Amino acid sequence: MKINYVCIPCLLNRVLFETKLVVKEEEKIHYIMKEVLEKFSEIYDPKRSSAEIATEIHALAYDLIGKDPYKNLKEESNKIALSILPKARKIVENSENKLEEEKLY
């Protein structure tokens, strides 16, 4: 799907969100957003797909941030999932229709 002008603020907001997950210094946040905006102005073409542009923008943002901005959220999500896994297994084990209950995990 070709990029639409409404994709622009959404993409930039996503980059800002990702940046703020990791970066706390306002000066660095400004720097990252400036670099992203410059890259965006270089690669933006309404004939390109939103996925192509977003991939390039997020790759740059991740490089500038210096690490996966979702790392901590992923670790927390995994902890939560593992904590409820035993209960989900019991539900399946005690079910008359295991195939239907397996949709829980």
Q: What is the DSSP letter of 67?
A: S
**Positive or negative torsion for Cα 59, 61, 63, 66:** negative
Work out the pLDDT band at 89, boundaries 50, 70, 90: confident
Residue with tokens 């799907």: 1
Work out the pLDDT band at 78, boundaries 50, 70, 90: very high
Work out the pLDDT band at 53, boundaries 50, 70, 90: very high
Q: Judge if pTM exceeds 0.85.
A: no
Q: Which domains does the chain have, with CATH numbers?
A: 7-68 (1.10.8.380), 72-104 (no CATH)
pLDDT computed for residue 73 by the predictor: 94
pLDDT computed for residue 100 by the predictor: 65
List pLDDT tens digits, range 2-37: 999 999 999 999 999 999 999 999 999 999 999 999
Q: Tell me the three state secondary structure of residue 9.
A: helix
pLDDT computed for residue 39 by the predictor: 98
